[in-house]
Amino acid sequence: MARGKSRFSPFLKQCFVTSAVGINLIGHGAVVGFSAVLLPQLHLPDSGIHTSKEADSWIASVVGITLLIGSFVATPIMGRYGRKVAHYTVSVSALVGWLTTLLANSVEVILLGRIIGGLSFGMMLPLRSILIGEYTSPKNRGAFLTTISLTQGSGIFFVHLVGSLLSWRRTVLVCLFLPFISLVMTLFTPESPSWLVSKGRYNECREVFHWLRGDEEETELEAMIEARVNFEKTMRTQKKLDLVSTVRKKEFYKPIILMVHAYAMGQLSGGASTAAYATTIIKLIMNPDVNADAWMLGLDSQRIVVNTLAIYIINRFRRRTMVFASGGLCVASHLAIVAYVYMKDQGLMSQEAIWIPGILLNVHIFSVSVGMVPLPSVIAGEVFPLEYRSIAGSISLASVAGTMFLVLKTFPGLIESVAITGTYLVYAGLLTYCLVVIWFLMPETKGRTLQEIEDEYRGVVAVEAERQSLQANGENGKVKT
């Protein structure tokens, strides 16, 4: 890629490559929210495809299982063939999933389409934060990473809105265009500079890095190249890879444990359940006679607005401050909903005062949209070291798949056995546990380079010892090109 003078600033170029990722994420948000549109229409008398409660739960939750498979499929692709090829694979598989659903004439074929769509979403999970994190500057990285939740939330709102106006088949037809547009945009995006440096292609890395960032971030570029050179020199002194030693490294296991709990927190907060069972939750908390569809679209709209505000808020405040402020608000909103529904059921509060549950639901969605859902993606784009970024990201993302599946599959059963009060009480307890773990494992990442964050996990002593070892052997860490 030539470094000639461009009409577009580095910031605009970063916006473009992030948009290619974001449009795909809108489509994947539509995959998550599609069941809220599909299931009510399948239960209509004139529906050509008949379903059951058990089939409904599988249609809503099967995406969670395939997320896990897809996240591990993406790892070897993005590691061996590059981030760009992996993004192509995601877009094509999303197209196939929507097309299969469009042509479905039975529940089994619908499930197949959902499985393929889930695989595509799963492949996108480790790729989305890695792509945006590696393409963007530290000063804007938080804002760009926050667009992950904004675009996914936009996809949920988009499919709910279109599905309320059109049949589910026509909704699928509209959604087909999203991965297609992303596929075309990916043709014009460069390969990730971090992947190029991991393959020893330092000159190409410099060209792409300068194209994306300009000439003002040379320090990060050289630090990234030097760290990779030092890593390769260290590996050449080892006869074989010591798997046990690798797993014991702080920079390997600490970010994984952190992200397992951060991703689980995002799902337990209500990000998954409010997308797939929106109308059910609204009726249970408010009352069965409310216009659940209108409230669903209203809450979806709020999610979009707050996700947009979160781009500014997360980029302005420290990451740890945002995590614990939004997490505390989310736990409090869960407990407040439990208290309200309990008092309503005991006759201590009138069911006609729907403004009370309306406020509680809006506070809940605000906490989910401003921090619980966007922050894990932001953090994931910053905490993983370069040499373990693909595999560590996929391992931690297993919690997204597992937690999403468990939340969506068990939600109907929990509602039936312990009602909405018991269900939200369980979620509040699990959220509190996740926040405690995050308190001890999460460093402050705002405004810091990826290399600085990696060095903090490794520890100052380990980093300095490695440098002294290289100097003692006559290595200065400079790369020859």
Nearest to 400 by CA among 124, 139, 172, 23: 124
H, E, C per residue of 215-231:
CCCHHHHHHHHHHHHHH
Give the model's pLDDT for residue 239: 45
Does residue 421 contact residue 344 with C-beta atoms inside 8 Å?
A: no
Question: Half-sphere exposure (CA, 13 Å, Cβ side) for 421?
Answer: 9
Q: Compute the distance between CA of residue 320 and CA of residue 317 in angstroms, rounded to an integer.
A: 9
117: left (phi over 0), alpha (psi -120 to 50) or beta: alpha
Looking at this protein, which amino acid is placed at residue 397? L
* The two structure tokens encoding residue 24: 């795909």
Give the model's pLDDT for residue 471: 54
Q: What is the pTM of this model?
A: 0.70
Give the model's pLDDT for residue 478: 47
Q: Compute the distance between CA of residue 264 and CA of residue 397 in angstroms, rounded to an integer.
A: 9
Give the model's pLDDT for residue 464: 55
Give the model's pLDDT for residue 221: 74
Looking at this protein, which amino acid is placed at residue 15? C
Low-confidence stretches of the chain (pLDDT < 70) are 1-6, 227-228, 230-247, 351, 386, 389-390, 393-394, 397, 460-481
Domains of the chain and any CATH numbers: 10-220+240-460 (1.20.1250.20)
Give the model's pLDDT for residue 178: 95
Give the model's pLDDT for residue 103: 92
Residue 276, CA distances (Å) to 109, 407, 431, 436, 476 in order: 19, 10, 20, 28, 55
Q: Give the length of the chain.
A: 481
Residue 434, CA distances (Å) to 15, 17, 48, 264, 270 in order: 32, 32, 44, 8, 14
Chain segment 412-447, per-residue pLDDT in tens? 888 889 999 999 999 999 999 999 999 999 888 887
Q: What is the dihedral of CA 241, 246, 248, 252, to 10 degrees?
A: 180
Give the model's pLDDT for residue 477: 43
Residue 354, CA distances (Å) to 2, 28, 286, 294, 415 in order: 61, 32, 6, 14, 21
